[in-house]
Structures are given as C-alpha cells and as structure tokens.
Amino acid sequence: MVLAVTLLLIALNDSLVFWGFSGLETGMAAALLTLTAYLFMRESRGARVPWSALAVAAAAMTRPEMMLVAAVTGGFTLREAAERRDGGSLRRLAAWCAMFAVAYGTYFAWRYSYYGHLFPNTYYAEMGTSSDFANRGMGYVHAYGLSYLFLPFVMGTAALVFAGAQGMRRDAQYVLAVIAAWAFAVIMEGGDAFAHGRFMAPMVPLTYVAGVAGLTIILSRAIPQRRQLMMAGLLTAALAALALARGSADPTVPGDRHARDEREALGRLLRADVPAEYTVAVYASGAVPYYSQTRALDLLGLTDETIAHSTVPNFGKGIAGHEKYNIPYTLTVARPELIMLGDTAPFVMPKATILQLGGGLPAYNALINDPRTFELYEAAAFRYQGRWFNFLQRKDVVGKIATDWTESGGYTER
C-alpha cells in the first residue's frame, strides 16, 4: 500500500508532471536524486560498490545544487565508516571518494577550461549575494512546500527517525539532511520565476516515499486493527490526492501553451525569411531560437556571458532570471539585426506606441528608453493570423528581409 499511495501522489504532483515534458533538466534531476538515495541506502546495508558516487556526480552535472546532495551523501558515507571502522566500510568510503572525484572532477575540469567560470552561466544571470535573494527564496519554498504538502511528509520522515527500525532511522536521517540541503540551496538561489515549482520538483519522489512510510508507521501504531488501518490509510491518501490534484487545475496553462505555439510560429517564420547569418535578439530564449535556427542573443543573459556578468540596479528585487541586461553591449557590440519585442499583439507598434506602452521587464524598458536604440533601429512587424509580431530592425538591413510593416515604409503585401 505504501508504494501504491506514493506512486499515486507522485503522479498527481503537477510539478513533476508539468516539468517532466518541458525539455529542461528537471525530470532527470529528480530521477538522479532518487537513484542516489536508493543506491546509498543499499550501500548502508552492505552493498560493496558505492554506485551512489556516480549517480550523485551525474546529478551534480545536471544541476549544480546537487553538489550539496553530494556533500550530504559523502558525509553520511564517512559517518558510517567512522562508526563501523571495519575494512569494508573504509574501502567503500575510499572508493566513493575516488569514483566521485574522477567522474565529477573530469567533467568540471572540462567545463572550467571551456567556459572559464566556476559556475554555470545561469548562476551569474540569476544569483546574487544580497538578502533579497534569500527572502524571495524563502517565499518560494514556503509557497510550494504548502502546495505540495511537504510539511506533513517531512513530519512523516521525521517520525521514522524515532519510530522506524534501525536501518530505516538512518535512511530517514539521510533523507532529512538531503531535504534540508536542497531547501537551503533553493532559498539562497532566490527561487524561480515560473509556476509549478520547478526547483522543488527534484525533491518530490524522495520526500513523498519517505513521508508516506513514516505516516504509515504512525497510523499503524495508532490503529492496530488492520481493517481500520487500511480505511484510515485510504482516506488519508484520498485527501492528499485531492489536495495535490487542485494544483493541476492551473488556468495559466492554456495561455502558456498558446505562447509557446506563437513562438514556434515566429521561429519558423524567421527561419524562412531571415538570412542564417543574422542575429535575432529575444527575451524568451527557447522556442524562437530552436525553430528559427538563427544565431540568438538572449537579452536576459541566461545564455550570454557578457550580460550574465553585468551589474544591474536592484538585483534580487525583480523576477528571478529576468533582471540582467547590458544595453551598451547589445547595441554596440552584439548589434543584432532584429530585436524581437515579445509575443503577438493586436496591432503594429510604431516608436511612439512602444515608448508609451513600455513593458514589465527592466531589460525591455532600459532598451526602448535608451536614445541609441531608435538611432540604430526602426520598428517593424510580421503579420501572423490577424495579429502582429513587433520587433526592431537595424536600419542598415531595412529592406533586406520581407516584412509586413515598417515604420518608414508602412504596410506591404507579401
């Protein structure tokens, strides 16, 4: 019953479901974290080869926060060797350290030699050292912790420390340490801008399985009769399922799907009409570069080294991952031929309209309000199903691609 209930709860968790098909690393991170914990628990029961070292090394290659999980796993391996002091435990500790060092060390040496930075580019684009990040991160962990019922499952895991068998107690201590390390990492990162708790998703399987096991033990102690225990367990699972299922009814999903479809259409349009050597600057660097196959400039710096390492005011007070920009670099060094202004609008936007409407991102407002922008670029638009993709076109390439409207030439027929 424990396994069945756990699988049901995992299947109803909208974070794993949503991000599982997003194309990002979330699903792999969750799988590798769960695998690491499984292998470590096998090793604590006598398995000779510490495969958890390779699993957590792969996890750390997937998401850098997994280095904290590696530290927890290595620390518990060290603790067991210190407590047992037998040859097998010491050999397992030495093998664990060697396997992790070779696997992750090789990867890190390659990455550092290629990129020249200790952390991935997104770290510099999204993270800072002010208390604003921790405050934002605590709000993120609190909100999604409540949404995904983490508190009762963490309490269930804690119950195993006191009520479980000896091996189960050690497992629960390990799980709690991993949960604490991961929560600390997410808090210090400042959380994420997207819905569905992407940064919390990797913890879901491990937290749920440990929590369900602990809650089951509590119920079995409180309700010794098997039939009543089954009824209480089913009722508890049903209530938890209803609570989790509520998160799947997200009214923003259709809008997100529509935006993705529009960006795919824009990418295909650019691929058909824009020369391959052009650079297209975007604020949503995902579907558009993928489908256009053009060189892309990420104006928020997630995939651009210069912008990611730029200094911006009020860093940490805005939307996570949407705060960095560097207008001088964009206009005078990168010099993209096209700067996309967003998804479709019901009308074309000349310079006056662009300035009047503004936008929600500091990077967008800084760009359109910089006097150099409209000295170098003019407004243009593509027509798409009765709506318009508005963008800025560098003045020296005006007329070299087919557009449906330009500020200098007006409407055209293609």
Do both 158 and 279 map to the same domain?
no
Range of the domain at 336: 253-411
Do both 82 and 153 map to the same domain?
yes
pLDDT tens, N- to C-terminus, the chain (414 residues): 677 788 888 888 888 888 887 778 999 999 999 999 999 999 998 888 999 999 999 999 999 999 999 999 999 999 999 988 888 889 999 999 999 999 999 999 999 999 999 999 999 999 988 899 999 999 999 999 988 889 989 999 998 888 766 778 899 999 999 999 999 999 999 999 888 889 999 999 999 999 988 888 887 777 777 666 667 667 777 777 777 776 666 677 777 788 889 999 999 999 998 998 999 999 988 899 999 999 999 999 999 999 999 999 999 999 999 999 999 999 999 999 999 999 999 999 999 999 999 988 999 999 999 999 999 999 999 999 999 999 999 999 998 898 999 999 999 876
Alpha carbon 217 to its chain's center:
34
Domain count, the chain: 2
Q: What is the CA radius of gyration of the chain?
A: 26
Asked which of 204, 220, 248 is the last residue of a domain, the reply is 248
Q: Which amino acid is at 153?
A: F
User: In this structure, what token pair is assigned to residue 389?
Assistant: 């993709």
Do both 20 and 65 map to the same domain?
yes
Do both 171 and 310 map to the same domain?
no
Q: Which amino acid is at 148?
A: Y
Residue 86 phi, psi (nearest 5): -110, 165
Residue 339 phi, psi (nearest 5): -125, 110
Do both 97 and 177 map to the same domain?
yes
Do both 78 and 212 map to the same domain?
yes
Could you tell me where the beta strands, DSSP code E, fall in 263-316? 279-282, 295-298
Burial class from Cβ neighbours inside 10 Å (0-12, 13-18, 19+) for residue 49 reads middle
Do both 407 and 288 map to the same domain?
yes
Do both 223 and 316 map to the same domain?
no
